[in-house]
């Protein structure tokens, strides 16, 4: 093989073969009914005055299995939790004397769902 042919072969492998070599990830997923593709539960934790509450643990507990998925609120009180499809209820870590005065109730997540406008309000 001459130099030009060898160079073209290398370029072809890099351009067309490289993207297919993502370690640990399939190039194309065609499986139907994939129950492991996560959805996302997200929202804001605030107090009764409307102030955002940072550094609080928020937990999504799956109905039926009691499996827990957790996150910590950021400086704006926001949280985002990746979860498999299912029904969830949310819990937040409370300080002594606090209680939840508003919660979203049961959250239903399908494959790849994003439920990002949930609100949890903490009062005393």
| C-alpha span between 30 and 42 (Å, rounded) | 28
Superfamily in which the 39-123 domain is placed by CATH: Immunoglobulins (2.60.40.10)
* pLDDT reading at 17 higher than 90: no
Write down the domain spans for the chain: 39-123
CB 61 within 8 A of CB 67: yes
| C-alpha span between 81 and 92 (Å, rounded) | 13
| C-alpha span between 84 and 97 (Å, rounded) | 33
- At 117, list the tokens: 């406008």
The pTM (predicted TM-score) of the whole model is 0.69
pLDDT tens digits, residue range 38-88? Answer: 899 999 999 999 999 999 999 999 999 999 999 999 999 999 999 999 999
- At 29, list the tokens: 């997923």
pLDDT at 26: 35
What number is the average pLDDT over the span 107-112? 88
pLDDT at 32: 37
Burial, 77: exposed, middle or buried (Cβ in 10 Å; 0-12, 13-18, 19+)? Answer: buried
By DSSP bridging, strand 114-123 and strand 39-47 are parallel
pLDDT at 27: 37
What is the pLDDT of the chain when averaged over all its residues?
80
């Amino acid at each position: 093989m001459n130099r030009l042919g060898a160079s073209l072969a290398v370029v072809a492998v890099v351009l067309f073969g490289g993207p297919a070599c993502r370690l640990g990830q399939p190039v194309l997923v065609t499986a139907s009914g994939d129950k492991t593709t996560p959805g996302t539960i997200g929202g804001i934790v605030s107090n009764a005055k409307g102030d955002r509450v940072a550094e609080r643990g928020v937990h999504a507990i799956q109905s039926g299995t009691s499996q827990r998925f957790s996150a910590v609120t950021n400086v704006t009180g926001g949280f985002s939790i990746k979860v498999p499809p299912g029904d969830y209820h949310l819990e937040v870590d409370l300080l002594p004397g606090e209680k939840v005065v508003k919660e979203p109730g049961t959250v239903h997540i399908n494959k790849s769902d994003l439920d990002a406008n949930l609100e949890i309000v903490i009062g005393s």
